[in-house]
Structures are given as C-alpha cells and as structure tokens.
Amino acid sequence: MLRCAEDGELFLAFAEKIQSAEVTQAYRYLIGWGAESAQYTCYPKRHGYINSVRFYRGLAWEHSFIANQGWLTFYFRRPCLGFPKFARSAIVSRFPQAEESNLGEFIVRVVSLEDAVRIASYVES
C-alpha cells in the first residue's frame, strides 16, 4: 500500500535521477509492488542527502531502496533479518552479489526489471 499523500511527488523526483531505461523499469516495478502489497506500506522519504523508498511492515522499517544513476540499491534492513526467511545464508544464496554493510544489513544492487522481480518475489514468498 502506498502512503504518499504528503510526499507523492518525491517518487517522480527520485526517478529523475535514474539514467537507464532498465533501471527505470525496475524502479517502477518496485513502486508498483509496494502499492499493491498487503504486507507493506511503501513511501518515499528524504533524509538529508539520501532519498529512499521505504517499506514498512507495521512500524518495522524492513526494506528500502535508493535510486542511483545506473542502479537501485536495495536494503534488507535489520528488522527483517531476525526472520529465518531473511537469514544471512538465505539472502546470500538467492543473491550471491549481496554485500553486508557495516550495520549488518544486506545490500543488493538492482540493475534490471528481472532483478526487481526476483527481490519482490523473495520478499513476498
């Protein structure tokens, strides 16, 4: 479900940063997934110089992504990592390119619509 009445224009502003048609498709897919999700509330947020799209389950900020010129940076944040489904080994086996941040979160670079579909399918499974 989208929550964007006050910040809906940020979706467009964040998308303007992207310089790749494939990444734009991935961005639109993830926004659409967030809009239709019964599990998550999705909305754009500016925090200093970081512009992210956030996915909350209840009050827990479980996932987010940041639009860059040539990719999206998708985060598996700490609140979701306590679930067996999002254990380190499960994330790394599905996304071998995933990197662990110094905060213990996992980061996946999304460069195509296929990548976005894989992430959304995994999160929803």
State pLDDT tens for residues 48-93. Answer: 778 899 999 999 999 999 999 999 999 999 999 999 999 999 999 9
Alpha helices for 1-125 (secondary structure H): 9-15, 21-36, 78-81, 88-94, 113-124
Q: Which CATH architecture has domain 9-124?
A: Alpha-Beta Complex (3.90)
- pLDDT digit string, tens, across residues 1-10: 556 545 667 8
Task: Count other Cβ atoms within 10 Å, centred on residue 106.
Answer: 22
The model's pTM: 0.91
Distances (CA, A) of 70 to 22, 33, 75, 93, 111: 9, 21, 16, 24, 7
Taking a C-beta distance cutoff of 8 angstroms, is the pair 23, 71 a contact?
yes
